[in-house]
Amino acid sequence: MVAYILRSIGLGILTAAVVVLSVPSLRVHLFPSQQESEPSDIGTLQLSFNEAVRKAAPAVVNIYSRKYTEDNRTKLSTQGLGSGVIVSEKGYIITNYHVIAQADQVIVALQDGRVAAAQLVGKDRRTDIAVLRIEGTNLPVIPQSPDYSPQVGDVVLAIGNPYNLGQTTTFGIISATGRSSISADGRQAFIQTDAAINEGNSGGALVNTQGELVGINTASFQQATDLETYGISFAIPYRLAKKIMEKIIADGRVIRGYIGIDGQDVSSVASRLLGSEHVGGIIVLGVDPNGPAYKAGFKAQDIIIKIDGHKLNGRDSVMDIVTDLRPGTTINVEIIRKGKSISLPVTVAEDTRE
């Protein structure tokens, strides 16, 4: 009797399952949550960066550089235009040096309609960074994240004032990082993007999808090389721009350390042949005869592996460490010369090169 009842229940459940699978409309009523989680019309889905633009755009300003006319030293005329980014509620603005290089007066126009004459706090020709300051209350400040690290493929938005058309936002991705080939000395690393950067965009903001500052737009490949190209633009990384700004605010200019060596990274092949302690080191190719390194006894073909006990991570890390040191500081540099480890004390000088 029990077996008969169980068999009947099993047959009933099986029959119900077959009916549910055969009639889709029954599944809608039995599993409503599944139906609700699926979009009924793919056309209703939208991808928008409006929130990022809304956060960042108010802090991106239009910059007009004015210059006295040659025939009338009392009359100012607008000679150039660009963009800038308010990065502090105290009114500090980061822009490109070339935007204000020839200006006798700089006018800043905010997106809320306010206009102000800007004070030039300082400039740095080498990195193409200038810092301005304006007076005002409730100034919009662009979101900033010290933890964000730009990666190839990240979506970015370029905000600025191209050709004085008014604030414009263009869209793209980060195409590459660490691009140094267009810099004057081959040392400064840029972010490359395919977001359009045109005349007037210089000094504007490159932001991520959270509206956070990624870099300061500085040039298109066409502007840098006079070649007619599209989709290749460059921005100064936010971390570098912020570091330069802080130096300018502190000292009125950028004070860089200098020891007077040129070198190249130890290749991975060479490091395997020479030993693991050479990983991250650099080979000295030349020594400035008037620089501190020459006086300290450095020679070509020396391999620098540590500075003040800290291991290195290639040529760029050496440049970063040295330029951040205050002139007059003495550091101990560990080198390998003809297979022997030597420590040389070097007194850092000031880098006076443009």
272-277 long-range contacts (CB < 8 A, ≥24 apart) are 274/303, 274/336, 277/305, 277/336
Choosing from 65, 98, 124, 302, which is the catalytic residue? 98
Residue with tokens 């010290």: 146
Q: 218 and 128 in contact (C-beta within 8 Å)?
A: yes
pLDDT at residue 70 greater than cutoff 80? no
Report pLDDT digits (tens) over 185-236.
556 788 999 998 888 899 999 999 999 999 999 876 655 555 555 678 899 9
How far, in Å, CA of 333 to CA of 318, rounded?
11
Q: Confidence band (pLDDT; 50, 70, 90) for 305?
A: confident
How far, in Å, CA of 122 to CA of 302, rounded?
38
The CATH class of 53-133 is: mainly beta
Domain ranges for the chain: 2-41, 53-133, 155-242, 257-350
CATH assignment of 155-242, given 3.90.440.10, 3.90.730.10, 2.40.10.10, 3.30.1330.10?
2.40.10.10
Burial class (CB in 10 A: 0-12, 13-18, 19+), 32: exposed
Fold: same for 155-242 and 257-350: no
65 is a catalytic site residue? no
Residue 327: its pLDDT value, please? 93
278 is a catalytic site residue? no
147 is a catalytic site residue? no
Report pLDDT digits (tens) over 120-172.
999 999 899 999 999 999 999 999 998 899 999 999 999 999 888 889 999 99
Choosing from 128, 265, 302, 351, which is the catalytic residue? 128
Report pLDDT digits (tens) over 258-303.
999 888 877 665 555 566 666 778 889 999 999 999 999 999 988 8
How far, in Å, CA of 149 to CA of 100, rounded?
29
Residue with tokens 């007077």: 260
Query: What's this model's pTM, rounded to 2 decimal places?
Result: 0.77
257-350 topology per CATH: Pdz3 Domain (2.30.42)
- DSSP for 259-285, please give it: --EEEEEPPHHHHHHH-GGGTT-EEEE
Tokens of residue 66, six digits: 């004015």
Q: Which of the 8 DSSP states describes residue 162?
A: G
Choosing from 202, 265, 302, 351, which is the catalytic residue? 202
Report pLDDT digits (tens) over 25-65.
555 555 555 444 555 555 555 688 999 999 999 999 999 99
